[in-house]
Amino acid sequence: MMPAHLHCRISCIFFAAVLLNISGAPITPTLNDKAVTRLTPPVQLTKRHTILRQSKSVSSSSPSPAVSPTSSPRQRTAAEIHKLTAWLQEFGYLDDNQSAAAEVRALMLTQAIRKLQRYANIAVTGEVDDATMALLDKPRCGQKDFTPAGPRHKRYILLRRRWERGREIDIQFKNHTRDMTIDDQESIISYVIDQWNSAADARLVFHQDGDQIDFPEINIHHTLYDNRGRPFQPYGVLAYAALPRNGDMYFDDTERWAELHTAQPLTFSYTSVALHEMGHSLGLAHSNDPAAVMYAFYGPNRHVLTPDDIAGAVALFGPSK
């Protein structure tokens, strides 16, 4: 009997071959991991929160190919196709279709690739090109980009489960990151809460250390495990949040966190990621708007809610009073 891993390898190779046949297009070269993981230039750090506005130089909201499209083509390996397929399934672009015929699976993969390319605002080719492969290594949120339920709007998307309107939502830290002082973390979360409470009639109430309660609706965790219980790795998924009416937020404790994005390699903006994850905690899914805070890929300078985020918050809680 054929070992499972060998069977999978052969299956993947056949799957890749079918894909090549269907797309009928040349397959492009290996992505350069170092090139695609380069972040946008850091913001200039100034005094706390006085600089929390969008920088004109932000380019992170519109992911762009990190590798030249003129690179010489080559065939993708089975491992690369497997990595792409797993990523597309994890983030809601592709159903688990192992039982389908290889030709059908290849067609579904092509459709999923096109869907990702549209979401990421890159050329919609339906091919496994460099720009698409580069997206797999971009830092991002762990939440799916497409959920099967929930009303869809032009940009923002609401989750199916919501908080009761007019009710206070208590939030506090379960534990802290060691990358910043507790005071700094509390200051950032206070700022993030102010953003969402000002956008709509959300009533988040932050309980700082010393004022904690037994059963808050939202706990903020720093953890070594992702939402499937797998060990977090530096980079990749940075954080995720549970949906209402739990709403807990989880930050990847293998990352290095700073109040704002810095020039230090692999250091991420806690403000940007907290603002995003709190949107999930309140009931928002990922937005299709690349400029929005609720866009899935990490934006180092997304520190202020955009009209799209505010429209989503108002749809959930009503206008601010």
Chain residues in the site for Zn ion (CB under 5 A): 141, 143
Nearest to 191 by CA among 201, 209, 204: 204
Q: What is the rounded distance in angstroms from the CA atom of residue 205 to the CA atom of residue 224?
A: 27
Nearer to Zn ion, 22 or 315 (CB): 315
> Please, which residue, 23 or 301, has the CB nearer to Zn ion?
301
In whole angstroms, the minimum distance from the beta carbon of 210 to Zn ion comes to 30
Q: Which is nearer to Zn ion, 28 or 143 (CB)?
A: 143
Closest distance of CB 280 from Zn ion, Å:
5
Residue 241's contacts (CB-CB under 8 Å, 6 or more residues apart) are: 143, 247, 248, 249, 250, 277, 278, 280, 281
Residues with Cβ < 8 Å from 39, sequence gap 6 or more? 60, 139, 261, 300
Q: How far is the CB of 141 from Zn ion (least distance, A)?
A: 3
Nearer to Zn ion, 105 or 222 (CB): 222
Minimum distance of Zn ion from residue 163's CB (angstroms)? 17
Nearer of residues 16 and 293 to Zn ion, judged by Cβ: 293
Could you say which DSSP state residue 40 is in? P
Closest approach, Cβ 276 to Zn ion, in A, equals: 5
Task: Quickly list DSSP for 64-107.
Answer: --SS-TTSPP-PPPHHHHHHHHHHHHHTTSS---TTS-HHHHHH
Q: Shortest Cβ contact with Zn ion: which residue?
A: 141
